[in-house]
Amino acid sequence: MRRMLLSAAVVVLTASTEIRAGDVEGRYLEARTCDVWTGPCFANAEMNWGGKHAVMAWKVDKGSVDNVRLDGLSVVAVISAHDTLGLKQTGSSKAILIVDQRATKPQQQALIRLARQQAGELMDQVVAVESDKVELDVDRCPEGGCGLLRAGSAHIETRCLGHHDKVCGNEIAFYPPLSKDVKANAAVAVEHSFSGKGLNETWKESDRRGAYVGLFQIK
């Protein structure tokens, strides 16, 4: 069951210093409302009108933040940006954080710190933090492009890219992942949606070449 944890004013306090950590590693999943694997001509057509929304998710396999163990816990960021994600932002972004409901209070704060550091300026204005059940799996196929996220009102399901996904024949990973310290493959978002409150907007897309699936590691 979803419940509100903290106001935005409290969340700001968690962003004041760098994470003090040993190795923290886990799985990462991301989807945007624009193609990230695309040809330049298609990417240019989407700039400045699309791609301003995203869902980012991290699941810690092992590691600690400020001596707080986070093994098996997840955190999700729902982003509404001022400009197309991947371009220089000319205004502030808004974000909602969804924290694994199994986390203790110290773990909640550590997960918030983790997400804020990894997403950088996209977390400048966190409008809400929620606690909910988070299911994140990125090991669903051997090719490395299949992922699943269910976290409250946020949902991502991806599949691997194939030859039939090419439109113009010169597709590349045009935009890099939004998170730092990520090694990920571009993928197709079979579904990418957010139906919650707090951002005053929702979205639902399907079959968009706008996802990344992979791993993260902070040293």
Q: Where are the domains of the chain?
A: 3-14+21-218
Q: What is the pLDDT of residue 62?
A: 96
Q: What is the pLDDT of residues 82-112, one digit of tens each?
A: 999 999 999 999 999 999 999 999 999 999 9
Which pLDDT value is given to residue 15?
A: 43
Q: Which of 147, 148, 189 is nearest to 165 (CA)?
A: 189
Predicted local distance difference test score (pLDDT) of residue 101: 98
Give Cα separations from 165 to 47, 207, 210 (angstroms). 20, 10, 12
C-alpha–C-alpha distance, residues 18 and 72, integer Å: 22
- Residue reference for tokens 């760098």: 18
Q: What is the pTM of this model?
A: 0.91
Q: What is the mean pLDDT of residues 190-219?
A: 96
pLDDT value of residue 151: 98
* pLDDT category of residue 7 using cuts at 50, 70 and 90: very low
Q: pLDDT tens digit string along 172-203?
A: 999 999 999 999 999 999 999 999 999 999 99
Confidence (pLDDT) at 163: 87
Decide if pLDDT at 1 tops 80: no
| Secondary structure (H, E, C), the chain | CCEEEECHHHHHHHHCCCCCCCCEEEEEEEEECCCCEECHHHHHHHCCCCCCEEEEEEEEEECEECCEECCCCEEEEEEECCCCECECCCCCCEEEEEEECCCCHHHHHHHHHHHHHHHHHHHCEEEEEEEECEEEECCCCCCCCCCEEEECCEEEEEECCCHHHCCCCCCEECCCCCCCCEEEEEEEEEEEEECCCCCCCCEEECCEEEEEEEEEEEC
**DSSP bridge partners of 156:** 149, 192
153-to-38, 150, 197, 202, 203 alpha-carbon distances in Å: 28, 8, 9, 10, 11
Predicted local distance difference test score (pLDDT) of residue 106: 97
Model pLDDT for residues 33-77, shown as the tens digit of each residue: 999 999 877 777 778 778 999 999 999 999 999 899 999 999 999
